[in-house]
């Protein structure tokens, strides 16, 4: 099987939150699948943010020392009060999280209305599965440099077409991620591009999404 050299996935989960794999096994499986970079972005709120970041920073330093694949320690702020976004983004960065993802207003879960706006205003790097995101929020994301996610994750992916259309209309950055939780969730280039095309992205759009993932890594690392 042809390797997916150069691919990047900036939204994954280990067993430190609700994934099934140790961080090291998660990264190893991505390396074998041909990825050159992966971010581990476990779910956090005030109860576990310090523990998660400390653990991911520690393991990422070791894996980056010994393996070729780039491991990026991050977090996904998940189901938190809107008023906590700004302080938790600042706190996460101070603790060493290089990538901040927000759990957007997916139709698959009871996410608090206003989460998309609060996350963008707080300066998150990626707004994951933002559901039926409004024009105003997309414009703000474009202005602030927050990337909007096209996801391969079942349930969250039902609004991919809306996200892609709005992002293209208002020139917001789009990333293609997996939101991986288990070995079978680890994507391939074929899957990434199938999902992207089903959302209405052209070949040129997909190339730009890959470039924007690379640019984000260069910015945060």
What confidence tens digit (pLDDT) does each residue in 127-179 have? 999 999 999 999 999 999 999 999 999 999 999 999 999 999 999 999 999 99
Computed over every residue of the chain, the mean pLDDT equals: 96
How many Å apart are CA 80 and CA 62, to the nearest integer?
30
Q: Which two tokens stand for residue 45?
A: 């709120």
How many Å apart are CA 48 and CA 150, to the nearest integer?
27
210 CB contacts (<8 Å, ≥6 apart)? 6, 7, 8, 176
How many beta carbons lie within 10 A of that of residue 44, not counting itself?
A: 27
Residue 4 pLDDT > 80: no
Q: Which of 99, 98, 102, 96 is nearest to 117 (CA)?
A: 102
How many Å apart are CA 85 and CA 78, to the nearest integer?
10
Q: For residue range 103-122, what is the model confidence (pLDDT) as tens digits?
A: 999 999 999 999 999 999 99
User: What are the structural domain ranges in the chain?
Assistant: 7-220
Q: Is 174 exposed, middle or buried (0-12, 13-18, 19+ CB in 10 A)?
A: buried
Give residue 143's Cα distance to chain centre: 19
Write down the pLDDT at residue 1. 30
Write down the pLDDT at residue 3. 43
Give the DSSP H/E element, type plus range, for residue 58.
helix 49-66
Q: Quick one: what percent of the chain has pLDDT higher than 90? A: 97
What's this model's pTM, rounded to 2 decimal places?
A: 0.96
Q: Is 40 exposed, middle or buried (0-12, 13-18, 19+ CB in 10 A)?
A: buried
Q: For residue range 28-62, what is the model confidence (pLDDT) as tens digits?
A: 999 999 999 999 999 999 999 999 999 999 999 99
How many Å apart are CA 206 and CA 200, to the nearest integer?
10
User: Which CATH superfamily hosts domain 7-220?
Assistant: Metal-dependent hydrolases (3.20.20.140)
In the sheet that holds 126-128, the strands lie side by side as 7-12, 35-44, 70-77, 99-103, 126-128, 147-151, 174-177
């Amino acid at each position: 099987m042809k390797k997916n050299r150069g691919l990047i996935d900036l939204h994954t989960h280990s067993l430190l939150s609700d994934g099934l794999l140790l961080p090291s096994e998660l990264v190893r499986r991505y390396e074998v699948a041909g990825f050159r970079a992966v971010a581990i972005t476990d779910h956090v709120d005030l109860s576990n943010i310090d523990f998660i970041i400390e653990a991911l920073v520690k393991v990422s330093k070791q894996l980056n020392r010994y393996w070729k694949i780039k491991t990026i320690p991050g977090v996904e702020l998940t189901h938190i009060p809107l008023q906590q976004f700004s302080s938790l983004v600042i706190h996460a960065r101070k603790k060493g999280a290089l990538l901040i993802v927000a759990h957007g207003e997916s139709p698959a879960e009871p996410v608090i209305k206003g989460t998309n706006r609060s996350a963008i205003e707080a300066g998150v790097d990626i707004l994951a599965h933002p559901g039926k995101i409004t024009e105003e929020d997309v414009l703000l994301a474009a202005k602030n440099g927050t990337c909007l996610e096209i996801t391969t994750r079942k349930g969250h992916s039902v609004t991919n077409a809306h996200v892609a259309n709005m992002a293209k209309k208002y020139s917001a950055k789009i990333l293609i991620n997996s939101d991986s939780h288990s070995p079978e969730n680890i994507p391939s280039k074929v899957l990434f591009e199938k999902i992207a095309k089903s959302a209405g992205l052209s070949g040129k759009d997909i190339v730009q999404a890959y470039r924007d993932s690379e640019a984000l890594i260069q910015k945060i690392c």
